[in-house]
Structure 1
Amino acid sequence: MARTRKYGQKGRSIMDTNHVYRVGEVTVTRVPELILDSNTPEYLYPQWDPSFIQEHEKWLVPGNMDKTRMHIFQSIYTWVLRTKQHTILIDTGAGNDKERIWMPRLNRLKSPYLKRLKAADVTPAMVDYVILTHLHVDHVGWNTQLVDGTWEPTFPNATYVFSKSEKRHYSDPENYPVNSRVKFIVYEDSVRPVIQAGQAEIIEPDGVEFLEGISLYPVPGHSIGQMAVCLTSGGEEALFGGDVMHHPIQVYRPEWNSVYCEDAQQARVSRRWALDYLADRRALFFSSHFAETSVGRVTRTGDRFVWQFC
């Protein structure tokens, strides 16, 4: 069994699968898929200001940016929640065997993700719910796997939960720019099969409790209908924010959108909501792409926010 780490402890490796947190009576296990280390800050954040490095170098290098100060570190993680009633998976990464010609790092992967899931004492058949914060390529890939040439749901007993506006938008190829219409294949190979299998529950996130201790909040902007997952248990809280932030840089510069945000102004509104939520409630933040442990807390200093890994 994976060791349970308290909030103040850091993991030794960002690919360490034996990294488990406890939020009240719920355990949360990080299951990593990929390390991403090729993006420059200028690419990821069009508003990038190089002076940020001098101001924040102490925590940036070497855990979150390489020593040359040329590339920032990110990863692709999924999270397993074990409550008294359910085993819940939040997001499913990039997936194997998927054709992603516009994103070579994710093209036709052969990752040991399912072995890492098993190392966390979870088999696909054990998962009761798969909650998808949004339907982008690096959050839905393991929804399905290739079986005898057909895309079949990876988690045969799970209900896949995602927002109605995400489904409406990404299921229509007319909503993709003409030069990006190849990306419609993400819906075709990773979303449509779970709908056809009768395993999808398509909702309107409204902050109301969806499962005991689990509420889904709308945080659109990065994508049309992105939602955040709030966990409350034993007087403690956590927020799983999807891509409301891609890197701790945005804790300090919440006005900086990533190049992947679809609605710039709404993304800033949702990010500010998440930061206020985390600081006001002292909630633990579980990210999808932060490096190091990918987990931490947000506090306020005056009118600014501060990040601390846990």
Structure 2
Amino acid sequence: MTDEKSVVLGDVEVIRVREWHRPFAPAADLFPGVAAEVWQANEDWLAPDHWEPDSGSAVLALQTWVLRSGGRTVLVDTGVGNGRDRPGMPPFHRQEGDFLGLLAKAGVRPEDVDVVVNTHLHVDHVGWNTVDADGEWVPTFPRAQYLIPAADDFHYGPGSDRPEVDRLIYEDSIAPVHQAGQAVLWDGRHRIDEHLTLESAPGHTPGSSVLRLASGSDRAVFVGDLLHSPVQILQPGCNSSACLDPEQAAASRRRILGRAADERELLVPAHFGGSGAVEVRRGSGGFTLGPWADFGPKRTVPAPE
């Protein structure tokens, strides 16, 4: 499935490429700090895009955001990938999807991609970094620069004390990018172009990051796994069960949400279903949801002359 829809923010086109959207895991397991009453009280807008009341499951999307900025094509996160050994992770183990076909429908060929942003190095954000070429993992995007948070590369890389599945993820999806000379490690802040800037927002992983877009009067922030569900806008202190440093993750979430509200940045998480992106407002001592994004028919911003 692909939406093949876009929004245009200033001089940047944002295209959503969605592989799937479905119940993922019990909400109580994925968000242990969110009481059942919170889901129930917000059922009228959480269901069906973000929560399945009958099963109590959180509903998530797996998607990549394609940005056309300054005449270049930028991918934000690359999903799960095909044919990967992911023991103990059934939603990601030995998957076979048509991600490259979906990119093609959005008008993107592998050789067209100039920059790949991995917001962090979890399994569902790096999988299509590489493809299997006759038994060898090689970069999917042969011309691209891959921007990888240095803190995550250190945490998950060789010599680290890591679970077996994290070793496999690094070896098939990150190490080949290094070997090809296409990896760029960064820390703190990294400017991609006049419209796009990466910033560290640690906690979910040591190197978790957000990508800020500022073009003309338009603003957006692509937050990766800083949030998995819009419930976390209402309760920003509640983490997902995948956050490695819960206290730091909550602090990063509050900081990014506060800035998004104050600067009218469109919030674009990795896994929101429905419209996929939403504005944030301050209210009642916390945050509330503003308007959802309006993804219209896909159109292309002309390249600068």
- With normalisation by structure 2, the TM-score equals 0.92
* CA–CA separation in structure 2 for the residues paired with 1:216 and 1:260: 22
Matched residue pairs, number? 292
Matched, 1:149 2:135: yes
Please report the RMSD computed on the Cα atoms of aligned residues, expressed in angstroms. Answer: 1.3
Between stretches 115-124 and 102-111, larger displacement belongs to: 102-111
Query: Which amino acid in 2 is paired with 1:235?
Result: S
Where structure 1 has 5 or more consecutive residues not aligned to the other structure, the ranges are 1-14
Structure 2 CA distance for aligned equivalents of residues 17 and 110 of structure 1: 19
Check the 8 A contact 1:173/1:184 in 2, yes or no.
no
Residue 173 of structure 1 deviates from its aligned partner by 5.1
Alignment of 1:246-285 (within 5 A): 246-285=228-267
Q: How does 1:223-234 map to 2 (within 5 A)?
A: 223-234=205-216
Secondary structure at the residue paired with 2:192? strand
Question: Which residue matches 1:242?
Answer: 224
Q: 2:179 aligns with which of 183, 188, 196?
A: 196
Which of 29, 32, 35 is matched with 1:43 structurally?
A: 29
Q: How does 1:148-227 map to 2 (within 5 A)?
A: 148-172=134-158, 174-176=160-162, 180-206=163-189, 209-227=191-209
Q: Does 1:287 align with 2:287?
A: no
The range that moved more, 48-57 or 247-256, is 48-57
Q: CA deviation at 1:88?
A: 0.5
Structure 1 contact 173–181 (Cα < 8 Å) conserved: no
Identity %: 37
Question: By how many angstroms is 1:69 displaced?
Answer: 5.2
Matching residue of 2:301 = none
C-alpha distance 54-108 of structure 1, shift in aligned 2 (>3 A) = closer
Q: Which moved more, 1:284-293 or 1:257-266?
A: 284-293
- Distance in 2, matches of 1:36 and 1:224, equals 28
Residues 1:67 and 1:55: Cα distance change in structure 2 (over 3 Å): closer
What corresponds to 1:301 in structure 2?
283
Check conservation: 1:17, 1:119, Cα contact below 8 A.
Answer: no
Distance in 1, matches of 2:170 and 2:197, equals: 25
Q: Following TM superposition, by how much is the alpha carbon of 1:87 offset from its aligned partner in structure 2, in angstroms? A: 0.6
Alignment of 1:73-112 (within 5 A): 73-112=59-98
Unpaired segments ≥5 residues, structure 2: 294-305
> Per the alignment, in what secondary structure is the counterpart of residue 96 of structure 2?
coil
In the alignment, the residues of structure 1 paired with residue 10 and residue 96 of structure 2 have an alpha-carbon distance, to the nearest angstrom, of: 36
Contact 2:43 2:53 in 1 (8 A): no
1:211 is displaced (CA, Å) by 1.8
How far residue 234 of structure 1 moved from its aligned partner, in angstroms, is 1.4
* Distance (Å, rounded) in 2 between the aligned partners of 1:38 and 1:267: 21
8 Å CA contact retained: 2:120, 2:205: yes
31, 37, 40: which one pairs with 2:17? 31
